[in-house]
Amino acid sequence: MESQDELEQARNEVHRKIGRNMLLFQHLEILLKFIIANGKVSAPISQLKTVVDRQAKAIKNKTLGHALGVFIENFHNSFTNSESGHLDSTEIVVSYSLTIEHNPDNPSHHEARRNALAEILKQRNDLVHHLFLKIKPTSIESWREIGILP
């Protein structure tokens, strides 16, 4: 049976590790949403801020899973200009895009990247939604069984 001090120390260590991971997942989500909002833009210069703001607003409240799907779809393909009405503009049009290339000689590379991103999402969802269903918070051994404590 664990003493109250041992349980308190274990609880503090668990909170530290969970908190660190939650912050890392949140940082990843913020960066991903920034890339989605700013990574592909095509607009007359007078509308550039409006277009980027609209893209940021569209992704802001989406889930990490949704953001990862948008990222994979939009940044692992070649750039296509969805704003085709700019050619008649008398203004300067700014277009830029970020793409992630994969080796065409190794088609499994793209799939491996998708799988790695899916694993990140799975780990985040396990931490956020399922961790406390797997443990008994008042038992140090319970925390050890799921690998949080040595």
Residue 73 lies in a domain: yes
Please report the pLDDT score of residue 115 as a whole number.
93
The structural domain count of the chain equals 1
What number of other Cβ atoms are within 10 A of residue 60's Cβ? Answer: 11
The answer as to whether 43 is a domain residue is: yes
Q: Which residue has the higher pLDDT, 66 or 145?
A: 66
pLDDT tens-digit map of 85-128: 555 668 899 999 988 877 777 778 878 888 999 999 999 999 99
- Rounded CA separation 34/37 (Å): 5
50: in domain:
yes
Residue 150 lies in a domain: no
- Three-state secondary structure call for residue 83: coil
Q: Which pLDDT tens digit goes with each residue over 49-87?
A: 999 999 999 999 999 999 999 998 888 764 444 555 555
Residue-wise pLDDT tens digits, 19-32: 999 999 999 999 99
Residue 117, domain member (yes or no): yes
Report if residue 48 sits inside a domain: yes
Domain of 26, in residue numbers: 4-145
Q: What is the pLDDT of residue 87?
A: 59
DSSP line for 57-76: HHHHTS-HHHHHHHHHHHHS
